[in-house]
Structure 1
Amino acid sequence: MTRKTDGVEFVVKPVASTGGASEFRQSMTPHPLVYQELAHDPHFGIYNGRLRSLSYGNAPMEDLYWRLRRQVMLSHTGELATEIRGPQAEALLERVFTRSIAAVRVGRCSYQIACYDDGGVMMDGVLMRFAPDHFWYVQSDGEFHGWLRAHAGQFDAEVRVTDTWISQVQGPRSMDVLAEVADEGMPERFRYFDMATIQVNGQPLVITRTGFTNELGWEFYLEPGADAEAIGDRILEVGQQYEMGTTPAEVTNARRIEGGLLFAGTDFDATITPFEAGFGRIVDLEKGDFAGREALRTADRRCRTWGLTCPGGTARHGLTVSQAGQPAGRVTSSAWSPTLGTGIAIVRLDDPEAGPGTQLEVLCTDGQTHAAEVCSLPLYDQAGDIPRGRATEPLATTEPVHAAI
């Protein structure tokens, strides 16, 4: 199937052939900078009703991975930004999210999750605070806007999906790119989870010190009316002196698993609580009422979501984990880690008493069952020094930390 964007025709390739007809009946809006990826023979999937490149047909995954780890890479995503504003915008968000909104200062971001009334995790994303009464929530894949609007009826607040597109510049040289690409240089204050507005080629551009790779990096937000090509081409032009190119989800997926960043609808969903997902530190039961609070007050606080290393191969997704021949859990995400030289995965264990150090067996993509070990998340850099700019290389540590922003 072919589509055109800005006059350029390209081929949309689903990753799997099954279900293709029903998939392509959905909205397939491409990122406005998709033309930057076309030379790499991208294979697309659907994320929030938008096209997102999942892999490249002519660019080796491991090569791109090391450029992300050692230099800098540009990734065009399918995240969706919802705007919440009005006199009671903060009160609405306090009702929906599990941690304090009042504590989020203007000009800052906050990782936030929302739950259903029964305590199941509905959505995760990054909340951006522009003003006391003005926010954006940048969500993972899935339906959240309707849930937010349903709650908004009780508050003096407006909720709308913005037509904003998000890209991320990630890697050790990402701040070098930012310093040169911003017309007035690096923002005066731009700490981890800060937000700022810069000018690129004379175009105003919102940026945040966030990302989905656990590398040093920043994200930029192309709003309606912006000259996306002028901004995107300038960023890519500057980045190319540091060997920056574009990268698909396949590459960022390996890094986010290493970094213990969970994927909505895959690593967690409405069937498990934040505690089971390892989000316990971002649930504040004392902040006041919020959706799911009563159910979470009596919920089991034990974590069931951990990392897994498998030197023999890459784990298959699904009910592929066993212990002494008995089913032991589900692999929700997996990849090969070039940094660690081992297969890595995120696993949801059946036994909440099991944890780091537990020895398991897992069926791998080679069709064989290999020995595996449960470990803490993230798999390295457990103090978060890399994305915070305190280090640019992985740190060796055995301290058991289950990280949450």
Structure 2
Amino acid sequence: MTALGSEAAPSPRRTPLYEVHQQLGANLVDFAGWLMPLRYGSETAEHKAVRKTAGLFDLSHMGEIHITGPQAADLLDYALVGHLSKVKVGRARYTMITAEDGGVLDDLIVYRLAEDDYLVVANAANQGTVLAALTERAAGFDARVDDRSADYALIAVQGPEAVRILAPLTDADLSEIRYYAGYRHTVAGRPVLLARTGYTGEDGFEIFVEPGTEALHIWDALVKSGEPYGLTPAGLSARDTLRLEAGMPLYGNELSAETTPFDAGQGRVVKFEKDGDFVGRAALLRAAENDRPRKLVGLIGHGRRVLRKGHTVLCDGQVVGAVTSGAPSPTLGNPIAMAYVDGEPDITAGTFTVDVRGRTEEVDVVELPFYKRDR
């Protein structure tokens, strides 16, 4: 029974690949209202597989919102910080949606599928916020905002062997698909949007499957094709350490409604040169012109103790900031973290430490990212 006046929390949603995750013995957790695989076995092994061979991810929790109509491009130029009307058909752009005060509501990838057809991909936890903001901002534009999240499944193949695994299954010439491009193709005989994008710091592809019920067929085909190359199913834990090594911000950690793109070192995504106004323009212009009182930096621990979100960063014993994300790095072999620190710290002067549950751990302050793949 539930208490008088209370309602039971809704059960987390299941992706079309839920039964596969069960069969593989995944540790399933509620993530942004979805039952998602945290790990299948060793998250370190899954992480290393992506760096050395390839990993296979279910990302069907992400939000997919279509913007269509004669003024779809104009709407997105107004609603987002990027210059989406300049994106060519078949290409994609990393961008953000902010509030009027410049605070980040979400970071997004936007694909231009046709002249008047865009796909906006939002983080699962922010899908409702992004949908509501786009719908509100569409007033006065000859454009339509459609939430199509329930229609899609999303599978990612990431790692150095991604091309060789995918090539036998698709009609696409993968050498012709550049980074941040996405085209209609087939994979395992099924129509998909095939995009060369990802969140791991490695080469790879994201496969948007519509209808989502076809995801199992494509997943199985990828598993079979990837077997000779060591393709490994990977969960959210590995995805998090991979993006951390690659210095990629995570909403709720490095990005929030209290941070601007400039705080997070992502000011390049804000395009002041585009024609007309856009939501947050005035506040972001002020943010771009100030001395940026805090900066996002990387930390590499000297010891073995893990640096975690919320831990205090000190320089010569004085508090200068806080950790936003941290974990052991399977690639570097040290604890790593991202942190906001005050001002523009001289990383060559002073002793930087992190307070880990009352014990100070010495760290090196470095520019991001921690890891870059060989091109």
- TM-score, normalization: structure 1? 0.83
1:204 matched to 2:191: yes
Q: In the TM superposition, what are the counterparts of 1:106-145 in structure 2 within 5 Å?
A: 106-140=89-123, 141-142=125-126, 143-145=129-131
The secondary structure found in structure 2 opposite 1:215 is coil
- 1:243 shift after superposition: 1.3
Q: Which structure dedicates a bigger proportion of its chain to helix?
A: 2
Separation in structure 2 between the aligned mates of residue 24 and residue 73 of structure 1, nearest angstrom = 36
Q: Which residue of 2 aligns with 1:279?
A: 266
Match of 2:277 among 261, 267, 289: 289
Cα pair 1:310 1:344 within 8 Å, conserved: yes
- CA deviation map 1:174-195 (0-9, x unaligned): 011110121x353462111111
Which amino acid in the other structure matches residue 295 of structure 2? R
**Which of 204, 220, 223 is equivalent to 1:236?**
223
Offset at residue 46 of structure 1 (A): 1.8
Secondary structure of the structure 2 residue equivalent to 1:262 = coil
Change (3 A) 1:237 1:80: same
Deviates more, 1:295-304 or 1:94-103: 295-304
Match 2:25 to one of 40, 52, 76 = 40
Equivalent in the alignment of 1:342 = 334
CA distance in 1 between partners of 2:222 and 2:291 (Å): 44
Q: How does 1:6-405 map to 2 (within 5 A)?
A: 25-26=9-10, 28-38=12-22, 39-47=24-32, 49-56=33-40, 59-77=41-59, 78-140=61-123, 141-142=125-126, 143-162=129-148, 163=150, 164-182=152-170, 184=171, 186-187=173-174, 189-224=176-211, 226-287=213-274, 288-299=276-287, 300=290, 302=292, 304-312=295-303, 313-349=305-341, 351-354=342-345, 356-357=347-348, 359-364=351-356, 368-381=359-372, 386=373, 391=375
| Alpha-carbon distance in 2 for matches of 1:62, 1:223 | 32
Cα 1:41/1:53, change in 2 over 3 Å? closer
What per-residue deviation string (whole Å, max 9, x for no partner) do you get for residues 264-316 of structure 1? Answer: 12211011111111111111222131111011122225351111111212202
Aligned residues: 357
Deviations 1:92-135 (A, max 9, x none): 10001112112100000000111110111111011000111100
SS in 2 for 1:276: coil
Q: Residue 309 and residue 357 in structure 1: after superposition, are their counterparts in 2 closer, same or farther (change >3 A)? A: farther
- Given that 2:26 and 2:37 are in contact with CA atoms closer than 8 Å, whether structure 1 keeps it comes out as no
Alpha-carbon spacing, 1:248–1:301, altered in 2? closer, same or farther (3 Å)? farther
Name the SS for the 1:379 alignment partner: coil
**RMSD (Å) for aligned C-alpha atoms:** 2.1
Secondary structure of the residue aligned to 2:232 is coil
Greater relative contact order (Cα 8 A, min sep 6): structure 1 or 2?
2
Whole-Å separation in 2 of the counterparts to 1:245 and 1:213: 14
Q: Give 1:224 deviation, angstroms.
A: 2.3
TM-score, length-scaled by structure 2:
0.89
Show structure 1 runs of 5+ residues with no match. Answer: 1-21, 392-405
Q: Is the 8 A contact 1:187 1:198 kept in 2?
A: no
Distance 1:258 1:88, change over 3 A: same
* In structure 2, distance between residues paired with 1:191 and 1:376: 27
In the aligned structure 2, how far is the partner of 1:355 from the partner of 1:40?
47
Question: For residues 97 and 301 of structure 1, do their structure 2 counterparts lie closer, same or farther at Cα, with a shift above 3 Å needed?
Answer: farther
Q: Is the contact made by 1:152 and 1:158 (CA closer than 8 Å) also made in structure 2?
A: yes
Deviations 1:300-353 (A, max 9, x none): 25351111111212202214222233322121111111211111111111x122
SS of structure 1 residue aligned to 2:365: strand
Percent of aligned pairs sharing the same letter: 33
Deviations, residues 139-174 of structure 1 (Å, cap 9, x unaligned)? 123121101101012211111111212121001000
Which residue type is aligned with residue 168 of structure 1?
A
Distance verdict in 2 for CA 1:208–1:356, change over 3 Å: farther
Q: Is the contact made by 2:163 and 2:174 (CA closer than 8 Å) also made in structure 1? A: no
2:366 & 2:112 partners in 1: Cα distance?
A: 35
Q: Partners in 2 of 1:338 and 1:98 — Cα distance?
A: 35
Partners in 1 of 2:7 and 2:247 — Cα distance?
Answer: 29
What is the rounded CA distance, in whole Å, between the counterparts of 2:78 and 2:11 in structure 1?
Answer: 31
Distance 1:42 1:181 in 2: 29
The 3-state SS of whatever aligns with 2:96 is: strand
